[in-house]
Each structure stands twice: as C-alpha cells, then as structure tokens.
Chains A and B, each alone.
Chain A
Amino acid sequence: MASVAKEWREIPGRYNLQGTKCENCGKIYFPSRSFCPKCRRDSIGKMTPVKLDRKGFVYTFSVVHEAPDCNNRQKPYAVVMVKTSDDILLSGQLVDVEPENIEIGMPVRAVLRKLDADGPAGIIHYGFKFVPDY
C-alpha cells in the first residue's frame, strides 16, 4: 500500500488549488514552490500561499481512451489544460461532460472528486477535477 503521507501533504493543492505567489515579482506558481525560479534568492522568504481561482477556460483537451486502471469505470475520460481566471495554466480531468461537447475556450470550474484509491481497503485520494461551468 502506498504511503498515506504522500497524499496527505498535498491536500492544500489537491483540494483547494493552493499554490504560491512570489511577492518579489508577483508570479503565481501551481503547484507550490519554495522559491521563484525567476527571482531565485530574491524570492526566499517571499513565497506566500495563494489559492487559484476555481474558474477558468479550456486551453486544450484530449479524450483518453487508453486509461490507467483508476479510471476503468469512467473511460473514455477527458483531460484538459485549464487557464484559470488568474491566468495560471494547470492540468486535470474534465468530468460530467460528453466528449463531443468539449471545446477550446469553454468555461469550466474545479470541483472535488475522487481521483483514485489504494484498493478497496486503502485510503481514497480526493482532488480537483473540472466540470463545465454553465
């Protein structure tokens, strides 16, 4: 069984899209980083937690037919790169949508869903997925 700590420590990002902002240059990073790759030492101690906007638009997408086992009951399933309203790009699944209705530019929002589980007895991994935002 996989370590539970591995999932637990990512909860702020997985549940609530928490990343970090470099207070030196203002750039937001998701997932969190301990320093800004652009500002380097100038950013040390100036990286503050920030939550991304849960709303955004589809930047690009794909419908996955050869799916990992965790999504056996949901294939084919869609994955998207989403540009959030605060202009951050991130990847995730897009659910509650028919593949033929997905298009670049469509509005989506992040919700909490089950990503996977460590078998029937192990821990359940929750995290963000996107749904159409009508």
Chain B
Amino acid sequence: MDVGIVSYGAYVPRYRIKPEEIGRIWGVDGKAMGKGLMIYQKSVPSPDEDVVTIATEAARDMMARVPDVNPEDIGAVYVGSESHPYAVKPTATIVAESIDATPAMTAADMEFACKAGTAGIQACMGLVGSEMVEYGVAIGADTSQGAPGDALEYSASAGGAAYLIGTKNIIAKINKTLSFTTDTPDFWRREGQPYPLHGGRFTGEPAYFRHITSAAKMMMEAMETKPEDYTYAVFHQPNGKFPTRVAKQLGFTPEQIEYGLLTPNIGNTYSGAVPLGLANVLDHAKPGDRIFVTSYGSGAGSDAFDITVTNEIENYKRENAPTIERVLENPVYLDYGTYAKYKGKILMSE
C-alpha cells in the first residue's frame, strides 16, 4: 500500500527583522553576521501568534486544499515543536478542534528540537500504513527563542507547515523513510528556562553534519540512488550555510536545493524548517518529480525521506490556499524595540 502526502499547508508570520538591526543593538556587525550565516532576514510572530495559531493556520490551509476529505476521518494529529505554548497541555488538541477533527482521534505534541515535525510525519506513516487510522496530520511549527544578544537571536524565527498523510489520492508518495539517531548534546533547553543553550561550534561537525550525511547516505544506499536521481532536495536549515555545505558534501547541486531553502529569507523556523522547505518544493512540483528530504534535530537525529510526486498533484486544489511565495509577499520590517515588544522580551507590569 502506498503511503504519502494527501495535502499540505504552510504559514509564516508577516513580520521580519534583519540581522543588521539586531547587531545594531548588541554592537555586532549584523550584516556580516547575516552574510556568514546566509540569513538576510528572519520572521517574527505577532504578539497574538504562537505555535497553536501558526499550526492552525497551516492545518486549515491543508484542509482547504482537500475539500473532499472529511475531517472526522483524521485519526491522529501530531504537532512537533520546541516552543509549545504550554509545557503541559497539548497544542495538538487545539489544532484538532480548529479543523473539526475531534473527538474520535489520537493526538500528541512532539518534541525533538528541529525535527519534531518530520518525526510526526513518520508516526503518521506508521498509523496510516498499518491501517490504524485513515488520515494522520503531522505539523512542524515553532516560534523559537534566541537569547538576546546570542548568535541564535539572528536566526530563531517563526513558521510552520502541516501535512495530511494518507493512502488515498496522495499527491506525493513517500517511498521510504529512515532515521539516524545518537545521543549528541549540541543544543538544549532545560525545563523552565526561557532560552536554549548550545555547544557553539560543536553543533556543526559532530552534530548537524554527521547526522544528516549519515541518514542521507543510508537512504541513498537503501534506495540505490544517487543525488542526480532527485529533482529536489530539502535539508534542515538552521542557517543558509549548513544546508548549502551539506548538499555539496553529498553531491547535490545548488539548483536542487533552491526551492527547499527558505532560511535565508525567513530564518530558522526549527520544527517548521524542513516541512516549510518541502512545502515550497511541492508548490512547484510536477508529476514524477523526486524529492530527497533530510531533517535534523539536535540531541540528535536525522529523518530522511525519499518522495515521488504523483499524477494526483494535477487534480490537487493547490489554489485553495496561498503558496509559500504568496505567504512571504509584503513583509513588514520591525525595529529591534518593536521586535523585543512583540517577542515579550520587555518586562511589563502584570
């Protein structure tokens, strides 16, 4: 039985801040920093947005594109994020209620740093493939926090994408998924702490690069494929530099990763990053296109996916919701003061 993507939806808040504006406050050459990271601006959520609202917007767009799918046939909703608004109380139930999928279903919030969204896709594939549920919804969304002045503040942004996983009318078949997972503490946030910490340069070679390349190689070995067999590739993108370099190391061309690389324009959306990159690829995909996807979550692990776009995408009502290019149109740029206010970094009286 083929398992794959039945629909998808994506959302990025409209506000942006540039690294030079952040650097202006902290006495850092933000422009050079942005150039080094290949991040030219990042998205900022409005004060009334969080992972619940971002996930809901993405999920509603996802449902709008498949008007024939009865939301009551959704048997599972998983929301992956490292910035769930509640430490205890699921995001997924709110999203499920907002798309009328409740109550005959299971739901849970997932957390695996930046790969919680793709972990949700894998969980849904298992449930759908085993016929435990008809459809599963997997969402990756974040409103990630970077400590003021920390390197993460230049990249941590907000956005998310939702995937409807099923077996009928799939627009993209997931040929295979596999993961590479070890205990590698490159980035973490302790319970009750407002900002994550990271291991600096340790987040690179032994963490991001080792896990992505290992998972990617395992996938190509299992599928007996080479980079040139894929139309598009999407890699986790904490900045623009890492995915560009890892793609090159694995033998993918800049053209293959172009659509899947949104971070230079919107920053690192954490759990939303790979789901958003894949959504932008699907916005452009045609039947027969093959997509290589590898996420990365600190702590650490990578999920790889081998995907083939089906003929069904021709009948798919993509136009019922805005494409990512449309979502990203007309951004509003913030100064650091407004950004700090929006992100709740200014102490206010209760």
Contacts and interface: CB of A to CB of B under 8 A. Distances in A.
Interface of A: 11, 15-16, 72-74, 95-96, 98, 111-115, 119-120, 124, 126, 129
Rank and list the top 6 A-B pairs by shortest CB-CB distance, nearest first.
A73-B47, A113-B48, A114-B48, A112-B56, A15-B98, A112-B53
A72 B348 contact: yes
B341 interface: yes
A126 B348 contact: no
B335 interface: no
Given A74-B46, A119-B350, A113 B100 contact: no
A73 B342 contact: yes
A95 B14 CA distance: 11
A40 B46 CA distance: 44
A120 B350 contact: yes
Contacts of B342: 73
Contacts of A120: 350
B44 interface: no
A85 to B, nearest CB: 14
Q: Which of B48, B53, B344, B348 has the most CB of A within 10 A?
A: B48
A95 B46 contact: yes
A15 B57 contact: no
A106 to B, nearest CB: 15
Interface in B26-74: 46-50, 52-53, 56-57, 60
A73 B52 contact: no
B312 interface: no
Nearest to A117: B85
Given A16-B98, A112-B57, A74 B350 contact: no
Interface string B14-28: 100000000000000
A121 B345 CA distance: 17
Interface in B218-270: none
A16 B101 CA distance: 12
Given A112-B53, A112-B60, A119-B350, 5 more contacts: A16-B97, A73-B348, A96-B46, A114-B49, A124-B86
Contacts of A95: 46, 48
B57 A111 contact: yes
Nearest to B338: A73
Q: Which of B50, B98, B344 has the most CB of A within 10 A?
A: B98
B108 interface: no
B341 A73 contact: yes
23 contacts: A11-B97, A15-B94, A15-B97, A73-B47, A73-B341, A73-B342, A73-B344, A74-B46, A95-B46, A95-B48, A96-B46, A111-B56, A111-B60, A112-B53, A112-B57, A113-B48, A113-B53, A114-B49, A114-B50, A115-B48, A126-B53, A126-B94, A129-B48
Contacts of A74: 46-48
Contacts of A98: 332
B62 to A, nearest CB: 14
Contacts of B48: 74, 95, 113-115, 129
A129 B46 CA distance: 13
Contacts of A113: 46, 48-49, 53
A73 B44 CA distance: 14
A98 B14 CA distance: 12
B102 to A, nearest CB: 10
A74 B45 CA distance: 12
B47 A112 contact: no
Contact of A126 (B46, B52, B60, B341): B52
Given A73-B342, A120-B350, A112 B52 contact: yes
Nearest to B99: A16
